[in-house]
Amino acid sequence: MKIKNVEMVATPSTPHYVGDGFRVHNFIPSHPRLDMYHADPFIMLDYNSKFYFPPSENPKGVGVHPHRGFETVTIVYKGKVEHADSSGAGGVIQEGDVQWMTAARGVLHKEYHETEWSKTGGEFHVVQLWVNLPAKYKMSPPKYQAIENKTMQKVILDNNAGMVEVIAGTYKGVEGSASTFSPIHLMNVKLNAGGKANFDFPKDYTTALLVIEGDISVNQNEQVPTDHLVLFAKDGESFQIEANENAIVLLMSGEPLREPIAAHGPFVMNTREEIAQAFSDYQSGKFGVLEE
């Protein structure tokens, strides 16, 4: 197989707050070379790098807001996230867990630091990735997939290199538990210092990685520090990650949908008319009811 080379290494942007509980660097779509079409099918990536939140009796977070037309994937590395939506679903995303929410035809949603965690405060470290839905599924029923770390499929690497937690897609024949509407591979690569892992994805897939902790080398020649994102070129299939120190890497690869994108705030559809309809449906109460 041909080597998949690094197209670019993106440095974290100046952080901004989403609500008052998520201090994020946005990589997708704000980076000039990571717009929604270039990163297709990944349409948003907010990264709350490791940050200390002091104790608070009032949990910080994001109040009620709508979503339509895509999925949100929330990965918690440190801290706890409490959520609820207009379908009556809710719960707590613990450290190491993943919540895969299919907004599809529409939900109201809110997410905060978990109540008891908020009272003590601590390090908070979270990724939220938005995955676009194919046009034929954008108005399908909403659903949740709660993926607990203790049940997550894991591949132990040879030579004490570390392990790969498979969230979606496959690695070395091991399939993640998340169901997806288009081909998506999503995994946490946890390497010990000096550990190596090899990966192969189709040439035309959008493939990227985010260094959550540590410092890595890609293909033995590109050094990537903590909190930086690598976008791979669509010029090959295989690449290698080596940890220069203990490292955690979020790896994503997906088949581009190659469909029109019309996006406005929390709505991502295929036409401006569908965006207008989403606003109308939201304002008329068709997304349901959720108290602040």
pLDDT in tens, 96-114: 999 999 999 999 999 999 9
- Token reading at 93: 């995303």
Separation between Cα atoms, residue 22 and residue 17, nearest integer Å: 6
In a domain, 290, yes or no: no
Does the structure show a pLDDT above 90 at 32?
no
- Token reading at 277: 């309809």
Separation between Cα atoms, residue 42 and residue 31, nearest integer Å: 13
The amino acid that residue 274 corresponds to is E
Own/partner long-range contacts of 6-9 (Cβ < 8 Å, ≥24 apart): 6/218, 6/219, 6/222, 6/230, 6/231, 6/232, 6/233, 7/33, 7/231, 7/232, 7/233, 8/33, 8/230, 8/231, 9/222, 9/224, 9/228, 9/229, 9/230, 9/231
pLDDT in tens, 163-215: 999 999 999 999 999 999 999 999 999 999 999 999 999 999 999 999 999 99
Q: State how far the alpha carbon of 288 is from the alpha carbons of 107, 132, 139, 180, 262, in Å.
A: 7, 22, 15, 25, 23
User: Could you tell me whether strands 16-18 and 170-171 are parallel, antiparallel, or unpaired per DSSP bridges?
Assistant: unpaired
Contact between 280 and 272 (Cβ < 8 Å): no
In a domain, 291, yes or no: no
| Longest pairwise C-alpha distance within the chain | 58
- Count of domains in the chain? 1
pLDDT in tens, 132-152: 999 999 999 999 999 999 999
In a domain, 108, yes or no: yes
Separation between Cα atoms, residue 240 and residue 257, nearest integer Å: 26
Question: Secondary structure of 43-105 in the HEC alphabet?
Answer: EEEEEEEEEEECCCCCCCEEEEEEEECEEEEEEEEECCEEEEECCCCEEEECCCCEEEEECCC
The mean per-residue pLDDT over the stretch 152-170 comes to 97
Q: Is the sign of the CA dihedral 121, 72, 65, 103 positive or negative?
A: negative
In a domain, 49, yes or no: yes
In a domain, 163, yes or no: yes
In a domain, 262, yes or no: no
Q: Residues near 240 by Cβ (< 8 Å), separated by ≥ 6? A: 196, 197, 198, 199, 218, 219, 220
Does the structure show a pLDDT above 80 at 292?
no
What is the residue-averaged pLDDT of the chain?
Answer: 96
Separation between Cα atoms, residue 159 and residue 246, nearest integer Å: 14
In a domain, 260, yes or no: no
CATH code for position 109:
2.60.120.10
pLDDT in tens, 69-96: 999 999 999 999 999 888 777 899 999 9
Does the structure show a pLDDT above 90 at 1?
no
In a domain, 226, yes or no: yes
- Please give the pLDDT value at position 251: 98
Domain range for 22 is: 6-254
- Please give the pLDDT value at position 205: 98
**Burial class of residue 41 (count of CB atoms within 10 Å of its CB; 0-12, 13-18, 19+):** buried
